[in-house]
Structure 1
Amino acid sequence: MGSCNVFVALVVLTVGVREIEPSKDAMKYITSGFVKVLEECKQELNMNDHIIADLFHYWKLEYTLLNRDTGCAIICMSKKLELLDANGRMHHGNAQEFAKKHGAGDEVASKIVQIIHECEKKHERDDDECLRVLEVAKCFRTGIHELDWQPKVEVIVEEVLTEM
Structure 2
Amino acid sequence: MARFSILFSLVIIAVTVKEIELSSDAMKAITSGFLKVLEQCKQELNLQGHVISDLYHYWKEDYSLLNRDTGCAIICMSKKLDLIDASGKLHHGNTAEFAAKHGAASEVASKLVEILHACEKTHDAIEDDCMRALEIAKCFRTDINQLNWTPKMDVIITEVLTEM
Flag whether TM exceeds 0.5 (same fold). yes
Q: Give per-residue Cα distances to partners, 1:114-134, cap 9 Å, x unaligned.
A: 000000010010000100010
Please report the TM-score for the alignment, with normalisation by the length of structure 2. 0.87
Asked whether the equivalents of residues 83 and 94 of structure 2 are also in contact (C-alpha less than 8 Å), the reply is yes
Return the structure number with greater helix share: 2
Q: Give per-residue Cα distances to partners, 1:64-88, cap 9 Å, x unaligned.
A: 0000110000000000000011211
Q: Which runs of 4+ in 1 moved over 4 A?
A: none
Say what the alpha-carbon RMSD is for the aligned residues: 1.3
Q: Which is bigger in relative contact order (C-alpha 8 A, separation at least 6)?
A: 1
Which residue number corresponds to residue 137 of structure 1? 137
More divergent stretch after superposition (152-161 vs 100-109): 152-161
Which residue number corresponds to residue 76 of structure 1? 76
Aligned residue pairs: how many? 147
Which residue number corresponds to residue 66 of structure 1? 66
Q: Displacement of 1:24 after TM fit?
A: 0.5
For the residues of structure 2 that align with 1:61 and 1:19, how far apart are their CA atoms? 21
For the residues of structure 2 that align with 1:20 and 1:69, how far apart are their CA atoms? 32
For the residues of structure 2 that align with 1:59 and 1:111, how far apart are their CA atoms? 18
Is the alpha carbon distance of 1:126 and 1:19 closer, same or farther for their aligned partners in structure 2, counting shifts above 3 Å?
closer
**Aligned-residue identity in percent:** 68
Q: Which has the larger radius of gyration?
A: 2
Asked whether the equivalents of residues 65 and 134 of structure 2 are also in contact (C-alpha less than 8 Å), the reply is yes
Task: In structure 1, list runs of 5 or more residues that go unmatched.
Answer: 1-17
What does 1:92-131 correspond to in 2, within 5 Å? 92-131=92-131
For the residues of structure 2 that align with 1:160 and 1:87, how far apart are their CA atoms? 29
Task: Provide the secondary structure at the position in 2 that maps to 1:34.
Answer: helix
Task: Provide the secondary structure at the position in 2 that maps to 1:95.
Answer: helix
Task: In structure 2, list runs of 5 or more residues that go unmatched.
Answer: 1-17
Please report the TM-score for the alignment, with normalisation by the length of structure 1. 0.87
